[in-house]
A and B are shown apart, each in its own frame.
Chain A
Amino acid sequence: MLNKKKRIVVNIILIIACLIIAFPILFAFIKATQTPGQVMSPRILPSGYLFENIKFVWTRYNLWGYMLNSFKISLSIMLGKTFLSFFAAFALVFLDFKAKKPVFIFILITLMMPTEMLIVGLFDIISLPSPTSFKDFFSWFIHPSNIFLSPVKFGFGWTDNLLSVIVPFFASATGVFLFRQHFRNIPTSLIDASIIDGAGSFRFIYYVLLPLSRNTIGALFVVQFIYAWNQYLWPRIIIRNSSAQVIQVGLKAIIGNAEGVEWGQVMAGTIISMIPPLIMLFLFQDQFMKGIAVSDDK
C-alpha cells in the first residue's frame, strides 16, 4: 500500500483529473439551466430554467422523436448482435465441422472493415429501390457480371427506414470474439460432464453456457448499446427524414444551420441525449468490467 503522503498526492491528482474531465459536461448542464440571456453571459451558476429549455427541445425540436428512434435502434442492435454472436461463437468453439478455420478468418477480416469506410458502397445497396417483380430481380441476378462487375441496380429500399441503421449492424466480429474468448476459457470438464449426461447442444447452452456467460453478455450489452446509440455518420447519410432520424444527428439539426442558436436549449438536448447510455453503463458496470477483462488479451 501507498504511504500517507503519497496517497494524498494521488488523491489530489485524481480529483483534479476528474474535475477537468467532467468540466465540459458540468458546464453544459449549468448552461442548460439558464435563460437565453444568462447563457450568453459569463455566469457559471445554475439557474432555474432547465425545465423550460427541455420542454422546448423536447417538443418543438423533435427531441422526443429522435430519442425514441435511437432507443429502438440501440435496443435492436444490442439484442440482435448479442444473440447472433453468441450462436456463431458457440459453433466456432463447441461444434465440430470442417470449414472452421476459413469461417473464422472470414469473420476476423471484418474487424478491419468498419462501416464508415464502406458508406459509398453500402449506400446504393441499402437505398436503391428493391425490384418490383421477381422476374426483374432474377434476370439481373442471373448474370454474374451484373453483380460483380457493375454497380448494383437494386437495393433494399430502406431509405428513411430504421431497418437501414439496424440490420447492417446485426453481425460483428467483436461480439463473436468476445464470446469465443470466453467459451474457450470454460473448463473442459464441464463439457465432458454434459456429454456424459447425454446433453445435446441446446441443453448445454441453456443449463451450462448461459449462466456462465452473464458477464460477457452484460459487457456486450453495454458495448453494443453505446456503440449503436452513438452512431453518427451512417444515419446522417442514409436517413433524410427527421421523423426517422437518430438523436446524435438530431443534435446537429437542433443546432440548426441557419439563425439564432439557442445554446441553452442545445445544451439541454445534449444532456438528455447522454442519459440512456449512462444508465446502461452503470446498470451493467460490474459485468462490463469483468466481461472486458477477459477479452483484453485479444
Chain B
Amino acid sequence: MKRISIMLIIMSFAAVLFASGQNEKVQNNEKNIEPVEIQFWHAFTDDARSGWINDLAIEWNSTHPNFKIVAESKGSYRETLQAAILGSRQGVAPHLVQVFEVGSQLALDSGIFTPIGDVGNVDLSDYIEPVLNYYTFNNSVYSIPFNSSSPILYTNKNMMIKAGLDPNSPPETFEEILNACETAKAAGIPEAGLGFNIHGWFFEQWLAEQGEPIVNNGNGRNGRATETMLTSKASITTLNFIKELNDNGFYKSTGKLEDWGGSDAIFQEGKVMFHITSTADLGNISNAIDSRFDMGTGRLPIPGTSKRNGVVIGGASVWLTSGHPKTEQEAARDFILFMTNTKNMNSWHKLTGYYPVRKSSVEELEKEGWFKAAPTRTIAFTQLLETVSNQATAGGVMGTFGDTRTIVEQAIQKVLNGADVKDSLTEAKKLADLKLEEYNKNFK
C-alpha cells in the first residue's frame, strides 16, 4: 500500500506540472493577443550559431508585434529537410526551412516550397551572383542564400615548427601534404597526419577542384541527372590520396561517418597536425583551441597534377514553404531579408567564418580592414574569388544526393579498410546509379 501511495504522489506531482504548463499559456492568452508564430527550422545545433539566429529573431520580433519568429534546430541538414517535408505533408509545416545545397533537388521535387523571389517584389541584386545562381531554378529564385562555406586546411603551427616545416606556407597539394607528414614523422612527431571526417562533401569539393562534375547532364543542371561520375579520373585520384594517407598512417578520424565534431575534437586536442573542415568552423575551432596552440589556415589541398578549378559555391539557403497565408509568407520573407542584411551578414561572418553572401558586406569588411586583422579568414575569400564559374563548381543536382553521399562515404570506408580503390568506386557507382534510377522512376 505504501508503494501505491508513493506512486499516487508522483502522479499527482506530474499532473500538477502538466497543469501548470497549461496555465501559463492561458494567462498569456488573457494578457495580449498572441502573435502569429512563424516557424524557422534550421540545422545548427551549436550554441554560437543557433544563438545568433535566436538573438536576431528576438530583435525582429520586438519591432513586429503581430508575428513571432520561432527558430528551432532539427539536427542535421538531412533531418531538417526530411522533417519539413513530412511536416508539411501532415499539415504542420514550418514557414522557413534551411536547406543544404545537396537537398535542392529533393526540395524542389517535394513541391512543398514556393520561390521566395516571387513573393512580392524582392530586390536580390546585392546577393553574390554565383551563390544566388545556385538557387535559381526555372528562372525563379527559390531561396535566400544564408550560410555558404567551403573546406579549407587548418594547421597546427606549433607542430609544424617542431617538425621543421614552414608554418607560413601550408601544403597546397596532396603530394605536399604527404611530404610534410613524412618530414614530421621523421622528426619524431607521432601526430603527423591529416584529419577530416569521412564525408562526401570533401569528395565533391575535390571533384569540383579538378573541374569534373559528379553527375551527367551538365551536373544535373541541363536535365534530370541519370548517372553518377563516381569512376571518373578525378574520383579515382581523390580516393587514391585518401588510401595513401591511410596506408602511411597519416589519416586521422573517429571512423564514424560525417562526424564533424569528432574530427574537430581531434584537431583541437592537438592530436593531428593538419585538419580539413569547413570555413564555417573557424570561429568555433579557434575558440575551442583557445591558446593551446597557434592555428593556421591554407587553401584546400588538391592533386598536384590538376589546375585549381575552385570549390563548389554552395552551403545552405533558406526556403519558404507554400500553404501558409500570404501575410505570414511575407513576414517570413521579411525576416530572412533582415537576417541576411549587410550588417547581420558581417556579424555572421565574424562569428562563424561563413562567407557574407552580400556584395555590400564584403565591401564593408574590406573597408574595415577586417581581412588584415583576421588573416586566417582571408583564405576563404581567396578560394571563393579564384573559383572558375562552370558546371563543376556550380555543384551537382540530383534527387538522391543524400544517398550518393552515403555511398561515397562507404566507399571511402572500404578503402580505409584496405579495399581496392577502383573496385570500391565501381561498386559505389553501380549502387548510386541504381538508386538514382529508382528515384527517377517516381516521376514516370
Residues of A within 8 A of B (CB): 40, 60, 68, 71-72, 75, 127-129, 157, 159-160, 218, 221, 240-242, 253, 256-261, 283-284, 287
Q: Report Cα–Cα, A221/B10, bound state, in Å.
A: 14
Query: Within 8 Å of chain A (Cβ to Cβ): is B325?
Result: no
Query: Within 8 Å of chain A (Cβ to Cβ): is B46?
Result: yes
What are the nearest 3 A-B pairs in CB distance? A256-B45, A257-B76, A240-B83
Q: Report Cα–Cα, A91/B335, bound state, in Å.
A: 61
B87, B262, B284: the one contacting A159 at CB < 8 Å is B87
Cβ-defined contact, B6 with A258, below 8 A: no
B3, B45, B47, B288: the one contacting A257 at CB < 8 Å is B45
Given A40-B269, A71-B14, A75-B11: A259 and B87 within 8 A (CB)?
A: no
B21, B90, B260, B281: the one contacting A157 at CB < 8 Å is B90
Cβ-defined contact, B284 with A68, below 8 A: no
Report B-chain residues with C-beta under 8 Å of the C-beta of A68: 17-18, 21
Add 18 more A-B contacts to A257-B76, A258-B45, A259-B281 (CB < 8 A).
A68-B17, A68-B18, A71-B14, A72-B18, A129-B90, A157-B91, A240-B87, A256-B261, A258-B43, A259-B45, A259-B46, A259-B264, A260-B46, A260-B288, A261-B261, A261-B262, A283-B3, A287-B3
Q: Report Cα–Cα, A217/B307, bound state, in Å.
A: 74
Given A283-B7, A284-B3: A159 and B261 within 8 A (CB)?
A: no
Given A258-B45, A283-B3: A127 and B86 within 8 A (CB)?
A: yes
B 43-68 binary contact with A (CB < 8 Å = 1; else 0): 11111000000000000000000000
Cβ-defined contact, B91 with A256, below 8 A: no
Q: Report Cα–Cα, A41/B385, bound state, in Å.
A: 42
Cβ-defined contact, A159 with B92, below 8 A: yes
Residue of A nearest to B284 (CB): A259
Given A259-B284, A260-B264, A283-B7: A159 and B45 within 8 A (CB)?
A: no
Residues of B within 8 A of A (CB): 3, 6-7, 11, 14, 17-18, 21, 43-47, 72-76, 79, 83, 86-87, 90-92, 258, 260-262, 264-265, 269, 281, 284, 288
Q: Report Cα–Cα, A221/B6, bound state, in Å.
A: 13
Report A-chain residues with C-beta under 8 Å of the C-beta of B45: 253, 256-259
User: Which of B21, B75, B258, B284 counts the most chain A CB atoms within 10 A?
Assistant: B75
Least CB distance from A226 to B in Å reads: 14
Least CB distance from B311 to A in Å reads: 20
Cβ-defined contact, B3 with A218, below 8 A: yes
Q: Report Cα–Cα, A160/B93, bound state, in Å.
A: 12
Q: Report Cα–Cα, A241/B14, bound state, in Å.
A: 22
The main secondary structure of chain A at its interface with chain B is loop
Report B-chain residues with C-beta under 8 Å of the C-beta of A256: 45-46, 75, 261
Report A-chain residues with C-beta under 8 Å of the C-beta of B44: 258
Residue of B nearest to A221 (CB): B7
Report A-chain residues with C-beta under 8 Å of the C-beta of B43: 258
Least CB distance from B192 to A in Å reads: 21
Report B-chain residues with C-beta under 8 Å of the C-beta of A287: 3
Least CB distance from B174 to A in Å reads: 26
Residue of B nearest to A158 (CB): B90
User: Which of A160, A221, A260, A287 counts the most chain B CB atoms within 10 A?
Assistant: A260
Given A258-B46, A259-B46, A260-B288: A160 and B75 within 8 A (CB)?
A: no
Q: Report Cα–Cα, A257/B80, bound state, in Å.
A: 12
Least CB distance from B112 to A in Å reads: 14
Given A256-B261, A258-B44, A258-B260: A242 and B72 within 8 A (CB)?
A: yes
Least CB distance from A81 to B in Å reads: 15
Q: Report Cα–Cα, A257/B100, bound state, in Å.
A: 15
Given A68-B17, A259-B264: A129 and B91 within 8 A (CB)?
A: yes
Given A71-B14, A283-B3, A284-B3: A259 and B90 within 8 A (CB)?
A: no
Least CB distance from A68 to B in Å reads: 7
Q: Report Cα–Cα, A287/B260, bound state, in Å.
A: 47
A72, A218, A240, A284: the one contacting B86 at CB < 8 Å is A240
Q: Report Cα–Cα, A218/B4, bound state, in Å.
A: 9
Q: Report Cα–Cα, A253/B72, bound state, in Å.
A: 12
Q: Report Cα–Cα, A240/B260, bound state, in Å.
A: 23
Q: Report Cα–Cα, A136/B82, bound state, in Å.
A: 28
Q: Report Cα–Cα, A287/B281, bound state, in Å.
A: 54
Cβ-defined contact, A160 with B92, below 8 A: yes
Report B-chain residues with C-beta under 8 Å of the C-beta of A71: 14
Least CB distance from B219 to A in Å reads: 27
Least CB distance from B115 to A in Å reads: 25
Least CB distance from B41 to A in Å reads: 9
Residue of A nearest to B259 (CB): A257
Q: Report Cα–Cα, A160/B88, bound state, in Å.
A: 12
